[in-house]
Amino acid sequence: MTVAVYNLDGSKRGSIAVARLASVNVREDLIRRAVVSESSKTRQRYGADTLAGKRSSAHYHGRRSVHFSMMNREMARMQRIHNQGALEFVARFVPQAKKGRTAHPPKVEKNFSKDMNQKEHMIALLSAIAAGTRNGLVEARGHKIGKMELPLVIADELESLKKAKDVSAFLKKMGLEDELVRVRQKKVRAGKGTARGRRYVRKKGPLIIVKEDRGIIKAARNIAGVDVATLNALNVSMVAPGGRPGRLLIFTESALKDVDKYG
């Protein structure tokens, strides 16, 4: 498969042969598994204080033939406070008592990570990249690409852009002005996330894949919906957010050549 290479002003520069992406099957099942695996490894472990609910002077009073025993008093034999005035014989410590410990609290030892075979993960990444080079899947995900032919390959000068206005101007010259308008819109999230620092949700726009960062990552970070990643730092969650393949991908010429060597 031969793909056109464009300059930053939108003019055609030449072409490049791409063999591997055209032959890769899009495995949505592996893509979803890979996204779940990657997100599980970012989940922070948490747990309750091991002494929570246990900091009490309450102790057991249920033995026979001892002073203040609960035997034959029609009283549940659980740990109770002793010699504390109004709190005399008030139950503590047990889960069903007020201020008692939690029965089965979350534990730090719990491991949330879900592993995935390395070769399967590589197939998932290649599948996600291949999906981003096929017009039908990209349009089905909601991207506004017009009559553009994918994959979109740009000269390596793209890596050296250092200002957000230059990146925005480049995207508009490539015919992605409607795409920038689409991702600029945001809506209020449904549910409790509105009170937890993630009030708004925004659509994902194009992902620019470069071989080397020479300033473009910092330049594009304030453009809504647009992400930039080096080929070495690429993961499935970037290429297929939410496990749904078809994100619009923009490659530099060097990055696309290295994609053919993946695996």
Length of the chain: 263
pLDDT at 44: 92
pLDDT at 110: 93
DSSP 7: -
The answer to whether the beta carbons of residues 260 and 231 sit under 8 Å apart is: no
Q: Considering the entire predicted model, what is its pTM?
A: 0.84
Structural element, H or E, at residue 209: strand 207-210
Q: How far is CA 231 from the centre of its chain?
A: 18
pLDDT at 262: 65
The predicted-structure confidence for 16-40, as pLDDT tens digits, reads as follows 888 788 888 999 999 999 999 999 9
For residue 154, give the 3-state DSSP assignment.
strand
Every domain range in the chain assigned CATH 3.40.1370.10: 2-43+113-259
Residues of the chain below pLDDT 50: 263
The predicted-structure confidence for 220-241, as pLDDT tens digits, reads as follows 999 999 999 999 999 999 999 9
Enter the tokens of residue 137. Answer: 């899947």
Q: For residues 111 and 40, what is the distance between their CA atoms, to the nearest angstrom? A: 9
CATH architecture, domain 2-43+113-259: 3-Layer(aba) Sandwich (3.40)
